[in-house]
Chain A
């Protein structure tokens, strides 16, 4: 009752921050109204995370968790504005690739000294997970997942094209040439496109090209900050994809929703998309009204020398100001993070890969739908390069790549333009 009174009084006078044990939480993933508190029954990113948060709110004594609604498209803008205004949420989710930007400025609390007391066992984190939240020797967050690009496969189409191995797994290409051959086989057998992906909206095309560059042992910029985009490797990566467009085996005009719809309608053999849709597509494939019926999840195939696929991590962070100014709320916020950390297996139900060794080794994890089909992804997952303004760099790449396949800009021009602009961004 007391909290309610204090809360009301504070809300009424519009003063924020110092509420005793109220933890405000900022996140993307979208909202889920009826998530409930059952963390094992919810479906989809939004509802699973919200059920975990609701459960934390219900089960943690003396702590109320308030989810601040945010807008996905403007999430980071909103968080940055909140930091700049001195009122960031007490806990917020972020991507690993943003750590250099936020931690580099001292925005995030360094947590290494307090995690154990809160009941978070750092030694249980997979090494890559620890790496994801580390910055210059400190720990700046609690990792929640790895997410990576996968190949979502329609086995019916693969079957028709004779691209299924004896063990029932799809036969995927091992070189750009083979990719084109497979695409032609699918076309000949079914008349459908081989590959669909969002090439026109979100930077999924960028992540595809990045993966293909990494597979050749190259990157878009070096450690010392030199852009290396106008290169042979980048050209190879780009033409691997454009050859499909040129031969009519893929459609560059599809955006996220369109490409997904094409895949669910059984109009494409393969959809390149992330781990986050595995549970959604499994559910759809089980629906008799959906054309897709035989769904398989495959690791991103190796088309060049070494395996690699784009990956990132979601993690939870606490503002440095909270640790400094408000130890009580800071302790409560850590409790919330510990709760989320303890429910790592529930979050993994989305299709994301877990971060805790104990979860990764558990039977419950192995029993998740399709999980055994993409076990190889963990070892080929590559991170986006660390850079303070990676957001801007990714936008440059997305723009120039879209210029290639949507507006016919010559590959050389686009890559040299991209290199110039990325260099500008790296130079600050």
Chain B
């Protein structure tokens, strides 16, 4: 490693540290007593060090019986949405990238147009539609609408396009059907890209807020993001800052851990196809 490299790393460490500060501050505040925070957030080292220390805020959150259930709901919804998005995106992405069929361009344009539909534009029709079907308050009500997002299709399409055609052509000559090619050849190749899409979808699902807020009416169907938001009172910031911060940390923790575990895939994913060529 040359001098330039170390210089670069040092230079980037400063913004990286600044980048981390808000998160560190949140964690530190979550370990400080609410009474102290009501007066000042800057007790020790601008509040970045949790002195005076308390774990009370976390204990309070977990004493609330429903927190584990909300975690479970979030996990079910996020996993369900992830699997659903993967299923529809890989199939559609492959068809759009590699197969020739009538109206292909029209379907592509339709998907592109769908990207620009603001969530709020479909929100109410969707809400009344689910109400008419009596679907609210269920896992599928939380999952299904999010599967209709075309971004995954685009990512997968982009990926399949980058896989060289010869693999497929060889299989065709051997008389392998299109669906077999997709299932046995393309899908294994697509694993890294699917990983990326899975992580992005999972993140999105985990943090989804507005739709669950109106769709999940019973606490039994609340996701953790929603549940924790619901226990922040109107003026929470002034009376229970520490606890609000603790709830933020708890809600974020699983996705952070998940990300740290799978982060290598996130970057590698989209490149794998390209570099194979």
Q: A interface vs B, CB < 8 Å?
A: 11, 14-16, 24, 28-31, 33-34, 44-46, 66-74, 78, 81-82, 84-87, 89, 256-257, 260-261, 264-265, 280, 284, 287, 289-291
CB closest chain-B residue, reference A30:
B233
18 new A-B contacts, CB < 8 A, other than A14-B140, A71-B232, are A11-B218, A14-B135, A14-B141, A29-B234, A33-B65, A45-B233, A46-B233, A67-B219, A69-B226, A69-B230, A70-B230, A72-B234, A82-B217, A84-B124, A256-B237, A257-B241, A261-B40, A287-B35
A-B contact pairs, 30 of them (CB 8 A): A14-B136, A16-B134, A24-B217, A30-B234, A33-B63, A46-B233, A66-B218, A68-B217, A69-B227, A69-B230, A69-B231, A71-B229, A73-B234, A78-B213, A81-B124, A81-B127, A81-B214, A84-B128, A85-B130, A87-B136, A87-B217, A89-B217, A257-B237, A257-B241, A261-B39, A261-B238, A284-B38, A289-B35, A289-B39, A291-B39
Docked CA distance A265–B217 (Å): 40
Docked CA distance A261–B237 (Å): 11
Which B residues, 72 to 125, have Cβ-Cβ distances below 8 Å to chain A? 124
Q: Which one of B217, B230, B235 lies within 8 Å of A257 (CB-CB)?
A: B235
Cβ contacts B118-152/A at 8 Å (1 or 0 each): 00000010011011001111101100000000000
Find chain B residues with CB under 8 A from A284 CB. 38
CB closest chain-B residue, reference A80:
B214
Interface centre among B138, B214, B227 (most CB of A within 10 A): B214
Docked CA distance A74–B238 (Å): 19
Q: B233 to A84, Cβ gap below 8 A?
A: no
Q: A16 to B239, Cβ gap below 8 A?
A: no
CB distance from B217 to the nearest CB of A (A): 6
Task: Assess whether B160 is interfacial by the CB under 8 Å rule.
Answer: no
Q: Which one of A34, A84, A280 lies within 8 Å of B239 (CB-CB)?
A: A280
CB distance from B95 to the nearest CB of A (A): 32
Which B residues, 160 to 178, have Cβ-Cβ distances below 8 Å to chain A? none
Q: B233 to A82, Cβ gap below 8 A?
A: no
Q: Which one of A15, A30, A89, A289 lies within 8 Å of B232 (CB-CB)?
A: A30
Find chain A residues with CB under 8 A from B61 CB. 33
Task: Assess whether B267 is interfacial by the CB under 8 Å rule.
Answer: no
Given contacts A14-B136, A81-B127, A264-B38, contact A68 B218 (CB under 8 A): yes
CB closest chain-A residue, reference B222:
A69
Across chains A and B, the number of contacting residue pairs, with CB separation under 8 Å, is: 114
Q: Which one of A28, A69, A78, A264 lies within 8 Å of B219 (CB-CB)?
A: A69
Find chain B residues with CB under 8 A from A257 CB. 235, 237-238, 241
Find chain A residues with CB under 8 A from B60 CB. 33-34
Q: B131 to A85, Cβ gap below 8 A?
A: yes
Docked CA distance A72–B244 (Å): 14
Task: Assess whether B6 is interfacial by the CB under 8 Å rule.
Answer: no
Docked CA distance A290–B37 (Å): 11
Cβ contacts B209-227/A at 8 Å (1 or 0 each): 0000110011110100011
Task: Assess whether B236 is interfacial by the CB under 8 Å rule.
Answer: yes
Interface centre among B38, B127, B140, B241 (most CB of A within 10 A): B38
Find chain A residues with CB under 8 A from B40 CB. 261, 265
Docked CA distance A14–B235 (Å): 33
Task: Assess whether B19 is interfacial by the CB under 8 Å rule.
Answer: no
Q: A290 to B127, Cβ gap below 8 A?
A: no
CB distance from B184 to the nearest CB of A (A): 37
Q: B137 to A16, Cβ gap below 8 A?
A: yes
Given contacts A34-B60, A73-B234, A87-B217, contact A14 B134 (CB under 8 A): yes
Q: Which one of A14, A44, A287, A289 lies within 8 Å of B137 (CB-CB)?
A: A14
CB distance from A311 to the nearest CB of B (A): 18
CB distance from A426 to the nearest CB of B (A): 25
CB closest chain-B residue, reference A82:
B217
CB distance from A91 to the nearest CB of B (A): 14
Docked CA distance A28–B233 (Å): 8
Given contacts A256-B238, A257-B238, A280-B239, contact A16 B136 (CB under 8 A): yes
CB closest chain-A residue, reference B60:
A33
Q: B213 to A16, Cβ gap below 8 A?
A: no
Find chain A residues with CB under 8 A from B232 CB. 30, 71-72
CB distance from A314 to the nearest CB of B (A): 13
Interface centre among A33, A86, A257 (most CB of B within 10 A): A33
Given contacts A11-B218, A16-B218, A264-B38, contact A30 B131 (CB under 8 A): no
- 5 tightest A-B CB contacts, nearest first: A30-B233, A69-B230, A85-B131, A14-B138, A33-B64
CB closest chain-A residue, reference B241:
A257
CB distance from A187 to the nearest CB of B (A): 23
Docked CA distance A44–B38 (Å): 15
Find chain B residues with CB under 8 A from A280 CB. 239
CB distance from B258 to the nearest CB of A (A): 25
CB closest chain-A residue, reference B232:
A30
Q: A256 to B231, Cβ gap below 8 A?
A: no
Find chain A residues with CB under 8 A from B65 CB. 33
Q: B233 to A72, Cβ gap below 8 A?
A: yes
Docked CA distance A78–B131 (Å): 14
Q: A85 to B136, Cβ gap below 8 A?
A: yes
Q: B213 to A74, Cβ gap below 8 A?
A: yes
Docked CA distance A302–B138 (Å): 54
CB closest chain-A residue, reference B140:
A14
Q: B38 to A261, Cβ gap below 8 A?
A: yes
Docked CA distance A81–B136 (Å): 12
Q: A16 to B39, Cβ gap below 8 A?
A: no
CB closest chain-B residue, reference A77:
B214
Q: B128 to A85, Cβ gap below 8 A?
A: yes
Docked CA distance A67–B63 (Å): 17
Find chain B residues with CB under 8 A from A45 CB. 233
Docked CA distance A70–B236 (Å): 14
Q: A29 to B214, Cβ gap below 8 A?
A: no
